[in-house]
């Protein structure tokens, strides 16, 4: 008989495989449906906070992937138009997403600046229409048998103080 822990481990491993497959193929509709189905399943071994963050990162990645799919469609249909840079050029860092010219929004990703204690939009090194590394953060959160706070999460969102509080509460309640 399969235990809950084994089932969770299998589901997380399958999610990781699916995300890696999506990054390498354009025929991804069935994979996305399977990923969404696996996200609905319970993961009691993981902290609730980690589950919330994981699901939000997967949803963010899927929205980004949808934009990439639109770009791929434009390129294949031959309707892509040239993007014009604003006068003075583009900045490497923006502190508000509204400051980024709309044609270049996909070229920037949000990161946490620990020194200034705020989020900033940084020019990404990967091209805007590449699927590679779309799911970097969610994949990094998948541990052996549960979701965990990874180095990538720390770089993006800062320290895991809410997860530490939840661990403390679990220890008291058990």
Q: How far is CA 11 from CA 15, 28, 35, 154, 169, in A?
A: 6, 18, 10, 24, 26
Q: Which of the given ranges, 25-29, 79-83, 121-125, has the highest pLDDT on average?
A: 25-29
Distance separating alpha carbons of residues 168 and 104, to the nearest angstrom: 43
Task: Please give the radius of gyration of the chain, using alpha carbons only, rounded to the nearest integer.
Answer: 19
> Nearest Cα to 48, choosing from 133, 169, 151?
169
CB contact at 8 A, 22 and 135: yes
Structure tokens at 39: 């996200």
Compare 34 and 170 and report the one with higher pLDDT.
34
Work out the number of other CB atoms within 10 angstroms of the CB of residue 127: 11
- Write out the two tokens for 96: 């508000």
Give all strands (DSSP E) within 9-167, no chain letters: 93-94, 108-113, 118-123
User: What number is the average pLDDT over the span 76-102?
Assistant: 73
Report if pTM > 0.85. Answer: no
pLDDT tens for 84-93 read 777 777 777 8
What is the distance between the alpha carbons of residues 61 and 20, in angstroms, rounded to a whole number?
A: 12
Q: What is the pLDDT of residue 123?
A: 81
Query: What is the arrangement of strands in the sheet containing 108-113, beginning at the earlier edge strand?
Result: 93-94, 118-123, 108-113
């Amino acid at each position: 008989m399969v235990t809950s822990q084994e089932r969770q481990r299998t589901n997380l491993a399958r999610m990781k495989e699916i995300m890696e497959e999506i990054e390498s193929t354009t025929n991804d509709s069935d994979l996305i449906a399977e990923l969404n189905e696996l996200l609905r399943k319970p993961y009691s071994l993981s902290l609730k906070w980690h589950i919330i963050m994981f699901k939000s990162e997967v949803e963010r990645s899927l929205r980004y992937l949808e934009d990439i799919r639109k770009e791929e469609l434009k390129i294949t249909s031959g309707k892509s138009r040239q993007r014009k840079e604003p006068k003075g050029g583009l900045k490497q860092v923006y502190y508000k997403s509204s400051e980024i010219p709309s044609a270049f929004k996909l070229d920037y990703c949000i990161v946490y600046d620990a020194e200034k204690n705020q989020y900033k939009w940084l020019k990404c090194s990967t091209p805007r229409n590449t699927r590679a590394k779309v799911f970097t953060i969610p994949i990094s959160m998948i541990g052996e048998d549960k979701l965990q706070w990874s180095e990538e999460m720390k770089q993006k969102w800062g320290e895991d103080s809410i997860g530490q509080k939840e661990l403390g509460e679990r220890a008291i309640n058990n």
